[in-house]
Structure 1
Amino acid sequence: MKTHLKKASLLMTGLMVGGKLFAQSPDTMATNKNYVQPFSGDGAFRTWSIGVNGGLLTPYTIFGPNGSQDFRNPTSQLGYGAYIKKQILPAFGIQADFFRGKVSGENGQPGTPAAFETKLNYAASLSANITLANINWMHHQSAIRPYVTAGWGMMGYKPVLNPDGGSPVNFKSNDESITEYFIPVGLGLKIGLGSGVNLDLGYNVNFVGSDNFDGNKTGSTNDRFSYAHIGLEFALGGGRKPELASYNPVNSMRTEYLWKNAQTKQMLQAQIDAEKANSAQLRSDLDATKADLAKLTTDSDGDGVVDVNDKCPNTPAGTAVDGSGCPLAKPVVVVTEEDRRVVNEAIKNLEFDLGKATIRAKSYPSLERVARLLVDKNFSLKLAGHTDNTGSKDLNMRLSKDRAESVKTFLVEKGANPSRIEATGYGQTQPIASNKTAAGRQKNRRVEFTLY
């Protein structure tokens, strides 16, 4: 009864502590200071740990009923131990254990002593420690980590038999200890108490390599005993590094994905906002440009002069106006020799950039005199552009027209009435000299002015 009470107390303690910590196991237990990116090396973790424990040693195990044991009433004795562990992977580690204590039992089978007590001088083993259920999506670190162990070890022990009504007898007459191998198999729970500190609740069954452990060879099976223990585990290394055994690589990959996704969304949203701002600015600039163009193309009174250049707005419909939009007087048009001299001088001085319709600056003075003549005397002017036969016909036709229009534009800008100026291009169709010589081609490249 006393033994069962001890076991129940141990189990309840573990469940209460574990239940309390399990409620704190979500991501709120994790802090960014010890976050480790996926696929980091061992240097980012604490991989070594040590532990101490104490508990109950008994020949009773979960494998088989008490009736099959050499001694039917197992008793519980205190045991204690320590270990050092190297974590290889989040779910796998290598653990070296050492423990000692006493194992005893009573009410032996018929033909056996009444009781035994085996002093376990030492038990040292090397085991694989496999952590379960620490890989999941939800939690950065697991507060409760189940584990299983299995390994191989050596032990030294000394059985003492207590015959019914007699004195204790050593199993070996020379009082020597027995050295034997054993196979430890166990399971348990690691419960995180804080940074690098874990509560360890474990249960081991140790299969002895012979039937000598209880000092009594009965039956065909080897002896075995169990060790139920509670202890503390301490991770070695810098406190800012997480334990590899509690590290959850799957959750770290999830966290990394969420962070990257959030950063990508922020970057894309910033780009979208910038594009919207640019579009709004372009729309504003376009509206302003349209308003400016409207001012440059609006002719409210329909006299052929846009409002921005119209010095006499609101002239009656059908009124002849000059280049500034003012009504024209109707004097008698007489072209004098001086007028023709001014026009001929402009023709003589007129030069364009090679292959272009751009008027060279040296032509401006004589063209300005023609513009004043058109304004002062309200003359009409016909401009005829010509080229030589160098180049294609289409190109020459377009170039001759563009050059005549260029002269018209210049005169209008100086005040001439655009309605009284006609610009026509004839290309290479009307030569006045032979195109076979450079001098002839020079004469054919011209703009003729006809004043009337």
Structure 2
Amino acid sequence: MKPNLKKVTLLLTGLLVGGKLFAQTPMADTSSAKDYVKPFSPESSFRTWSIGINGGMLTPFTIFGSNRNQDFVHPKAQFGYSGYVKKQILSSFGIQADFLGGKVSGDSGQPGTFNDFETKLNYAVSLSANITLANINWRHQQGAIQPYLTAGWGLMAYKPTLNANSGTPIVYKPNNESIKEAFIPVGLGLKFRLGTGINLDLGYQVNFVQSDNFDGNKVNGSSDRFSYAHAGLEFALGKSSKPQLATHNPVSSMRTEYLWENMNTKNQLQAQIDAQKAANDKLKADLDATNANLAKFTADSDGDGVPDFYDKCPNTPAGTKVDGAGCPLPVNKPVVIVTEADKKIVRDAIKNLEFDFGKSTIRAKSYPSLNRVASLLTEKNFSLRLAGHTDNVGSNDANMRLSKDRAESIKSYLVSQGANASRIEATGYGETQPIASNKTAKGRQANRRVEFTLF
């Protein structure tokens, strides 16, 4: 028994170590996008075929019923091997064809006719339903462990050999022929996902033989049974780009589809928002350009009521009346009518005007007539031009200064009496414009004058 246990232990150790190595490879790091399959996709979107190879321990002891009631109550562990081909129909349901081989042996543990038995299992083929549990996961994208149950029906061929207490082996069936019997395999196990399409398979199977001669000792008439604890690897067949249906979580694909659709919707809405924003920006830019163009037609820098674009006379002083081209309208000056009475007042002022000799000082006797001139200028808003003249006695410069000073002196006096200074013009001409000969005293007296001109 120890060599067989040793073989089984080495096999399980090798499978577990190999499984750990597979788990450390990049294949185990598969993303949800790679495992994603659009919901309600056809079967062709998955890998539905797989094969498995297993090795483990065969023993007549099982977890069902009382093992003390069997023909041989002391089991011996023997090495067993198996393989299968599976077709996955749904995420949680598949059908698999199994093959099982090895030896099953046991010891009676008490004095009797037979000491122990050994049955060589030439083959045991069966067709079973495989139900995968918990591969639909609402919390994770994909579960790392898939529990499963199996049940089916099959046919086996075996050769039991009994060892009598005398030490003589007894073959149950003569001519070394195999016994063929139907059996029902029932099992459970766990599959650990190591990578894309690779799973570690740990399982336990009880095989119910439809006879009492599996151990070669037909005693109580009850059917024999034996168990098979195994470990192995499962490999999914097909393109590695497709997920294995048995380990596929459809809930994750539905969630991914929902997120992608929401993301696409969000991107579409964002694209529409961006497009509308761009359209609004363009509309604003066009509006700004239009307003800028309109501003050219409405700007009026000088405030004359004519836009700059049409203003042919820019910078017109404020308050100036302009025409349609922005140019000042001609000013119609009021017609000044100077009457004879007005002229007489001026003549009297000229007649009575006297200055100190050689000076611009007005003598007091001239004030009354000048006062009447100031009143005339104020009442009728006349303008007055004063022109000072001298004879030729003295230098030209002195005469020019004297004539200018006397005209200015009269202007200052008139202004002091209320006349508008802006309407009085005072000019000196010196001896340049005589009206009589300077060779006679009478002529020189006529040349010494200040002319008053109303307008």
TM-score calculated relative to the size of structure 2: 0.63
- 5 Å-filtered alignment, 1:79-90, equals 79-90=80-91
Aligned to 1:154: 155
Q: Distance in 2 between matches of 1:65 and 1:19?
A: 37
Query: How many residues get paired?
Result: 332
Measure how far apart 1:206 and its partner are.
0.5
Q: Distance in 1 between matches of 2:268 and 2:28?
A: 26
Are the aligned partners of 1:183 and 1:206 in contact in 2 as well (CA < 8 Å)? Answer: yes
Q: Which moved more, 1:167-176 or 1:26-35?
A: 26-35
Structure 1 residues 50, 239: CA separation in 2 closer, same or farther (over 3 Å shift)?
same
Are the aligned partners of 1:29 and 1:141 in contact in 2 as well (CA < 8 Å)? Answer: no
Q: Distance in 1 between matches of 2:232 and 2:54?
A: 4
Structure 1 residues 23, 272: CA separation in 2 closer, same or farther (over 3 Å shift)?
farther
Q: Distance in 2 between matches of 1:26 and 1:198?
A: 12
- The 3-state SS of whatever aligns with 2:182 is strand
Identity %: 64
Structure 1 residues 317, 87: CA separation in 2 closer, same or farther (over 3 Å shift)?
same
Aligned to 1:211: 212
Q: What do you get for the CA RMSD once the two structures are aligned?
A: 3.4
Are the aligned partners of 1:117 and 1:160 in contact in 2 as well (CA < 8 Å)? Answer: yes
Q: Distance in 2 between matches of 1:26 and 1:225?
A: 37
Q: Is residue 2:260 matched to residue 1:279?
A: no
Aligned to 1:122: 123
Measure how far apart 1:175 and its partner are.
5.2
Q: Distance in 1 between matches of 2:41 and 2:95?
A: 20
Q: Distance in 1 between matches of 2:318 and 2:199?
A: 102
Are the aligned partners of 2:76 and 2:106 in contact in 1 as well (CA < 8 Å)? Answer: yes
Structure 1 residues 170, 93: CA separation in 2 closer, same or farther (over 3 Å shift)?
same
Measure how far apart 1:285 and its partner are.
3.3
Are the aligned partners of 1:300 and 1:314 in contact in 2 as well (CA < 8 Å)? Answer: yes
Structure 1 residues 158, 266: CA separation in 2 closer, same or farther (over 3 Å shift)?
same
Structure 1 residues 26, 82: CA separation in 2 closer, same or farther (over 3 Å shift)?
closer
Measure how far apart 1:46 and its partner are.
2.3
State the AA in 1 paired with 2:312. K
Are the aligned partners of 2:153 and 2:184 in contact in 1 as well (CA < 8 Å)? Answer: yes
Q: Distance in 2 between matches of 1:10 and 1:91?
A: 29
Are the aligned partners of 2:12 and 2:56 in contact in 1 as well (CA < 8 Å)? Answer: no
Are the aligned partners of 1:49 and 1:86 in contact in 2 as well (CA < 8 Å)? Answer: yes
State the AA in 2 paired with 1:190. K
Are the aligned partners of 2:85 and 2:98 in contact in 1 as well (CA < 8 Å)? Answer: yes
Q: 1:410-437 CA distances to partner (integer Å, 9 max, x unpaired)?
A: xxxxxxxxxxxxxxxxxxxxxxxxxxxx
Aligned to 2:168: 167
Q: Distance in 1 between matches of 2:102 and 2:7?
A: 17
Measure how far apart 1:149 and its partner are.
0.9
- The 3-state SS of whatever aligns with 2:162 is strand
Q: Distance in 2 between matches of 1:127 and 1:244?
A: 18
Are the aligned partners of 2:71 and 2:219 in contact in 1 as well (CA < 8 Å)? Answer: yes
Gaps of at least 5 residues in structure 2 are: 334-455
Aligned to 1:306: 307
Q: 1:304-363 CA distances to partner (integer Å, 9 max, x unpaired)?
A: 32332222344455543211122223679xxxxxxxxxxxxxxxxxxxxxxxxxxxxxxx
Measure how far apart 1:87 and its partner are.
1.2
Structure 1 residues 34, 258: CA separation in 2 closer, same or farther (over 3 Å shift)?
same
Q: Distance in 1 between matches of 2:306 and 2:327?
A: 9
Q: Is residue 2:59 matched to residue 1:58?
A: yes
Aligned to 1:38: 39
TM-score calculated relative to the size of structure 1: 0.63
State the AA in 1 paired with 2:131. I
Structure 1 residues 109, 125: CA separation in 2 closer, same or farther (over 3 Å shift)?
farther
The structure with more radius of gyration: 2
Are the aligned partners of 1:74 and 1:105 in contact in 2 as well (CA < 8 Å)? Answer: yes
Are the aligned partners of 1:144 and 1:191 in contact in 2 as well (CA < 8 Å)? Answer: yes
Q: Distance in 2 between matches of 1:27 and 1:75?
A: 38
- The 3-state SS of whatever aligns with 1:71 is coil
Aligned to 1:259: 260
Aligned to 2:249: 248
Q: Which moved more, 1:144-153 or 1:218-227?
A: 218-227
Q: Distance in 2 between matches of 1:21 and 1:194?
A: 7
- 5 Å-filtered alignment, 1:283-432, equals 283-316=284-317, 319-329=320-330
Q: Which moved more, 1:161-170 or 1:68-77?
A: 161-170
State the AA in 1 paired with 2:307. V
State the AA in 2 paired with 1:29. T
State the AA in 1 paired with 2:70. Q
Aligned to 1:181: 182
Aligned to 1:409: none
